[in-house]
């Protein structure tokens, strides 16, 4: 069973590592819509997939956060990717699988997954 004492070891380990996530102006922000509409459409597994994939790849310059309803309820789950110095990219109807591809193609390799963006997908 997990014990609270184990957290001390985690604390000591974490203190040795420099936390790159904090106050990093070059951080890539990934925002998941988590209002009623987003949650109902499946935002939670999308968020989990994003956190898991960025964690697995140790992408310390990426912050995954949640946002409210942006008025695209019919296209939820919506994921917005903000790379500093570039235009914001809005992905619609995202699921866990698409989320992983967004991390791999867009965030890691810099290629926007245009087939999932609002501009393409809605046509």
Q: Rule CB under 8 A: which residues touch other proteins?
A: 1-2, 4-8, 10-11, 13-15, 19, 34-36, 39-40, 44, 47-48, 51, 55, 65-66, 69, 71
CB of 34 to other proteins, least distance (A): 7
CB of 74 to other proteins, least distance (A): 13
Q: What is the C-alpha separation between 114 and 71, in angstroms, rounded?
A: 21
Q: Which is nearer to other proteins, 12 or 123 (CB)?
A: 12
Q: Which is nearer to other proteins, 9 or 87 (CB)?
A: 9
CB of 119 to other proteins, least distance (A): 23
Q: Is cis: bond before 77, omega within 30 of 0?
A: yes
CB of 2 to other proteins, least distance (A): 4
Q: Which is nearer to other proteins, 57 or 88 (CB)?
A: 57
Instruction: Find where tokens 């310059």 sit.
Output: 61
Q: Which is nearer to other proteins, 8 or 120 (CB)?
A: 8
The 3-state DSSP class for residue 25 equals coil
| Contact by Cβ (8 Å): 26, 59 | no
Q: What is the C-alpha separation between 51 and 15, in angstroms, rounded?
A: 21
Q: What is the DSSP letter of 69?
A: -
For the four alpha carbons of 112, 26, 29 and 13, in that order, the dihedral sign comes to positive
């Amino acid at each position: 069973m997990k014990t609270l004492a184990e957290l001390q070891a985690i604390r000591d380990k974490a203190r040795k590592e420099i936390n790159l996530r904090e106050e990093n102006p070059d951080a890539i922000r990934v925002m998941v819509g988590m209002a009623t509409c987003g949650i109902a459409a499946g935002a939670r597994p999308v968020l989990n997939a994003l956190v898991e994939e960025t964690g697995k790849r140790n992408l310390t310059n990426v912050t995954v956060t949640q946002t409210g309803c942006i008025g695209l309820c019919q296209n939820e789950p919506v994921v917005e990717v903000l790379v500093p110095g570039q235009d914001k990219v809005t992905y619609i109807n995202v699921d866990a699988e698409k989320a992983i591809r967004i991390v791999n193609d867009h965030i890691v390799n810099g290629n926007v997954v245009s087939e999932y963006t609002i501009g393409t997908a809605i046509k």
